[in-house]
Amino acid sequence: MKVKKEYVVLLAVIIGLSAYLLTRQTDRTHYELPQLPPQGGKAITRIEITGPKGTVELAKADDNWSVGPQKHQADRAKVSPMIDTISDLSLTALVSEAKDYPRYDLDDKKKILVKAWDGSALEREFDIGKPGPSFRQTFVRLAGDPNVYQASDNFRSKFDYSAEDLRDKVVLSFSASDVSEIKLSQGGESVSLLRKEVPLENSGEPDQSEDKKDENVASAPLKGKMSWLSADGRPADNDKIDRILTTLSQLACDRFIPDRTQAEFSNPIYNLEVKGQKTYTLAIFAKENDIDTFYPATSSDSAEPFYLTEAKAKSLMPAFEDIVEKPAGEKTSSEPDKAETSDSQNK
């Protein structure tokens, strides 16, 4: 009889605990997430971002985005993900009602405040904190709501920019296939390179028609090959020139030089002039000090001077003898003078 009573008591405890846990779990999940009204990305005309890197203003005009009061062209590849995130912002869970904002990087020191307008109407306003533990979510706060929510996607890095970071850094842009001539200048000397069609028999390649087995098939006329030659007909290194053109055709600088104009730079150490649909120019200047790793430069496509990294600048300043053959009979800098060699042997 005593054993039966113990079973009854144990069963009652189990039922009570189950009911408690079920009720507690229901209470934890019984809340409604704020419903954000749909926002089409194309309707957004202005964005303001305030965070540890300062305040950045982006404005849209004629489908182009500008950054800052100077209205510098913005980097579309960085602005587009912002617009997508603002438009598709989706809350997935309530995380905290305790107002412990530093825990989620939502305090004034670390948060990133985002505001987005459609014309004069403020459509979105929210704070961005750190990513969630799985790095697939982001902690956020909505304007006027003290709670911390979890939003889908890891997107803090898409807004963590300064005004300079968001500028379009492309300072020279053209189609490499349209280029017909390049002129390189250094130290008072220059070399011009022309893109011309060279017959295959003169290009150093085997005549493919010789491999034909059927003699009854008429040989197709040989087609030429587009190659780079100097103005006086000397062959040039096509691979090196094409690499230079590839870099130049979408040349991006490291950063712009503030508070200085192109007119303040003179006596470049290297000039490149490219003729395509129009003439494009790039001038590279000496480093400003011995420890600097950046070269100042100017281009025909940029109203402002800018810096190129040392590696990029050097790749655009080849020695002439590295890209075009020396004239016949002219020794290279590495070749000894034959007369001098003969004299030394006689001695």
Confidence category of residue 291, pLDDT binned at 50, 70, 90? confident
- Contact predicate 84/152, CB 8 Å: no
Provide the number of structural domains found in the chain.
2
Amino acid at 272: L
Number of H helices, E strands in the chain: 6, 19
Cα gap 247→163, rounded to integer Å: 25
- Checking if the pLDDT of 73 tops 50, the result is yes
In terms of domains, do 186 and 311 share one? yes
Q: Buried b vs exposed e over 102-136: b needs ≥16 C-beta within 10 Å?
A: eebbbeeebbbbbbbbeeeeebbebbbbbbbeeee
**Residue 215 within any structural domain of the chain:** no
231 is in which domain, residue-wise?
Answer: 170-204+224-323
In terms of domains, do 82 and 188 share one? no
- Helix/strand/coil percentages in the chain, nearest 5: 25, 35, 40
In terms of domains, do 197 and 290 share one? yes
Say what the pTM is.
0.74
In the prediction, which pLDDT does 38 show?
75
**Residue 25 within any structural domain of the chain:** no
Confidence category of residue 271, pLDDT binned at 50, 70, 90? very high
- Checking if the pLDDT of 26 tops 90, the result is no
In terms of domains, do 57 and 197 share one? no
- Checking if the pLDDT of 333 tops 80, the result is no
Collapsed DSSP state (helix, strand, coil) of residue 249: helix
β-pairing, 170-173 with 250-252? Answer: antiparallel
In terms of domains, do 143 and 230 share one? no
In terms of domains, do 110 and 187 share one? no
Cα gap 46→24, rounded to integer Å: 45
In terms of domains, do 178 and 128 share one? no
More confident residue, 305 or 27: 305
3-state secondary structure 22-71: HHHHHHHHCCCCCCCCCCCHHHCCEEEEEECCEEEEEEEECCEEEECCCC
Confidence category of residue 339, pLDDT binned at 50, 70, 90? very low
Amino acid at 61: A
Query: Any idea which of 2-16, 74-88, 155-169, 300-314 has the lowest mean pLDDT?
Result: 2-16
**Residue 1 within any structural domain of the chain:** no
**Residue 289 within any structural domain of the chain:** yes
In the prediction, which pLDDT does 325 show?
84
- Checking if the pLDDT of 344 tops 50, the result is no
- Checking if the pLDDT of 324 tops 50, the result is yes
In terms of domains, do 154 and 179 share one? no
- Checking if the pLDDT of 140 tops 70, the result is yes
In the prediction, which pLDDT does 21 show?
53
